[in-house]
Structures are given as C-alpha cells and as structure tokens.
Structure 1
Amino acid sequence: MIIIEKEQFANYIRQYERLIITICLSFTKNYFDAEDLAQQTFLSAYKNYEKFDGENFKAWITKIAANKCKDFLKSPAREVHSLEEDDYEYLKDGEDLPEEVVVKKYNADRVNNLCNKLKDPYKSVALSYFCENIKLSDMAKNTGQSLKTLQTQLYRAKKMLKALWREEVI
C-alpha cells in the first residue's frame, strides 16, 4: 500500500469510526465487544485494502463490520452457559478477606497477651477458654474442678480483661 493510500485509509477510519462502532453495538449490545469488533473490522479492511474497488468505501467497510458481528454472534466461544443452583456452592469463597484475617490475628494476639497478664487461676481459665477454645465443661472434666468454680473464674477473668483492654486503648 503506497503512502497516499495509507493516508486515505487513515481518513476513512476517522470518518467511519463512529458508524462502525454503532453497527457493532447494534449487533452485540455490549460496548466493549463493539469496540473490539470495530478494531477487527478496520484491521481486516486494512489487510484487504487492495481488494477494495475504490467505489464506495462506506458500503464496503459496513459489510465487513456486519460480517464480523455475525461471525462473533455465532462463535461457540461466546456461548453462555447457566449454572445450576447447586453449582453456586462450589463458587463461594469460604476464606475471609485478607483484611479480616489480619484483624482477627491482631485481636487473637492481643487477647492472648492480655490473658497472660492475669494471675492464676484466671490466667489459665482465660487462656484455655479464649485462646485454645476449650469449653468450660471440658475444662471441668480435665481439671477436676467444679463447673461453677470455672464459670466464676471466667466471669472475673472477663471483667479483668475488659479493664486491661480499655487501658491499652487509652
């Protein structure tokens, strides 16, 4: 393609760019697909410019655009498959967001540090309950202490932890 024809082709692109995007948009109903197809249309026209008879560029380029859109709509890659209701379960992300993971880790470390500041027996009850997730009933079985005693110790440990938590914030 000689320089004059390249300049003429560039003029054609500027002149018909909106028309081609509008045609592609009318076929696809999606602006991004329309832009892609418009680019493909102009690329195809550029590659095959020597086949252009010089008569009516507008008719020639709109015919290319329409054919590109028809091919796109028939494309198996464009086929949309619906998921069944059960399939959505596999797509769910069960993990926490990274920010949530960091906050949970920070709070867990903070609770652990505060529990370690308590004196026994409150320290051991608080560490077991809050940091190791051991139920009071299991602690009673393992230690031989009464459940009521452990409940009282945990109640007092919570009050002390609440006070320590506030002191750290201030």
Structure 2
Amino acid sequence: MVVIIWENQFENYIKQYQRLIITICFSFTKNYFDAEDIAQQTFLTAYKNMNKFDGRNFKAWVTKIALNKCRDYVKNPARKLESLSSEDYKYIEDVKDSPEESLLNKDSDEKIYNLCRRLKEPYKTVAINYFCKNIKISDMAKDTGENLKTLQTRLYRAKKLLKILWKEEFI
C-alpha cells in the first residue's frame, strides 16, 4: 500500500518538475534531445534512490541530481565531437543512394538485364552493352568496327522490343 502511494506521489513529482529539469538540462547541453535524455536519467536515478530521499524538499533533491547529471555530461570526453561550421557543410556532398534507392536500382537493373537477355541477336548484344554496361553506341562502333548507323538502328529496334517485353512482364 505504501509503495503504491509513493509511486503515485513520484508520478506527480515528475509531472510537476519535468519542465524545470528539462530547462536545467537544456541550459547545460544546448540540445533539446540530450536535455530530454538527461532529464529522464535524472528521474530514473531519483526513483532508484528514493531510500536516500529525506522526504522534505523533492524539488531541491531532484534538481541536485539533474545538475550532477549535467556536469557528468559536460565532462564526458565521448561527447566532444568535431563540429563542422555551416561553411564546411557546403563542401560535403552525399553521392550515395539511400539503401532503399540502392535496392530499387539493383532490382531495376536486374529486370532490365533479364529483359535484354531475352532479345535475339543482334539486338541482345547492343541492348546489354548500352543499357547494362553503359557503353556508348559510338564506343561500340569503334570496338566492333560496325557502322554507327547500323548500331543506332539496332538500339532503336531493341528499345521497341524491350518496351513490349516490359509491358508483358510488369504491367
């Protein structure tokens, strides 16, 4: 019975002082999310150490715990990271696709490759080289010695055949 009353009282203390504790933590961390984490740690520590609370002034006691947690946070060497200035960020470019995009691209590449493989020669080779291996028509003409116009015509016809195969397969 005493435990239930105490838990209800502790819940009321949290509601009453949570803003104060988050404000204190934020003044140290300058980061709302870190302040929330430290406030949560503060109340968890208070709950675990209720046997040490003298029962007189909960606000002062929990504030002291919060201050100690904040001091520990500030002293923690793992927290100190090199920060970039806003000027530095413009030189950082994310050139990789997200995992989702990579998976979709891989899936699309496999589908296109499988469709190209279903074509008959001479369209098959031109389509695989152009769509899957990213070889330009002009480079294919140089490598194979075939006429550029012939390869362009084959690519044009391969595109039409692939469009038909794509519709049959995926629509």
TM, length-normalised to structure 1: 0.71
Partner of 1:66: 63
Instruction: Choose from 18, 22, 26 the match for 1:25.
Output: 22
Distance 1:80 1:38, change over 3 A: farther
Does the CA-based 8 Å contact 1:125-1:153 persist in structure 2?
Answer: yes
The equivalences for 1:3-82 within 5 A come to: 13-14=10-11, 16-29=13-26, 30-46=35-51, 48-49=52-53, 52=54, 57-59=55-57, 61-74=58-71, 75-77=74-76, 82=83
Say if 1:127 and 1:42 are closer, same or farther in 2 by CA, change over 3 A: closer
Counterpart CA distance in 2 for 1:161 and 1:90 is 39
Deviation, structure 1 residue 144:
0.4
Tell me the residue number matched to 1:131: 132
Q: Could you tell me which residue of structure 1 aligns to residue 109 of structure 2?
A: 108
| CA displacement, residues 1-25 of structure 1 (integer Å, 9 cap, x when unaligned) | xx97x78855753553433434313
Report sequence identity in percent: 34
Query: How much has 1:69 moved relative to structure 2?
Result: 2.0
Cα deviation, 1:45-74, whole Å, max 9, x if unaligned, reads 42x24xx3xxxx242x22221212222333
Residue 168 (1) aligns with residue 169 (2): yes
Cα RMSD (Å) of the superposition?
Answer: 3.3
Aligned twin of 2:96: 94
CA distance in 2: counterparts of 1:21 and 1:140, whole angstroms: 73
Q: Does the Cα contact within 8 Å between 1:16 and 1:58 map onto a contact in 2?
A: no
Q: Which structure 1 residue ranges, 5 or more long, are not aligned? A: none
**Separation in structure 1 between the aligned mates of residue 114 and residue 7 of structure 2, nearest angstrom:** 70
* 1:120 counterpart SS class: coil
Q: 1:125 deviation in Å?
A: 0.8
Residues 16-36 of structure 1: per-residue CA shift (max 9 Å, x gap): 343343431332254443232
**1:81 CA displacement:** 6.2
- Which amino acid counterpart does residue 158 of structure 1 have in structure 2? K
Offset at residue 110 of structure 1 (A) = 2.0
- Would you say how many aligned residue pairs link Structure 1 and Structure 2? 158
Q: CA deviation at 1:39?
A: 2.2
Unaligned runs of 5+ in 2: 27-34
Q: CA deviation at 1:139?
A: 0.7
What does residue range 147-166 of structure 1 map to in structure 2 within 5 Å?
A: 147-166=148-167
AA matched with 1:67 = K
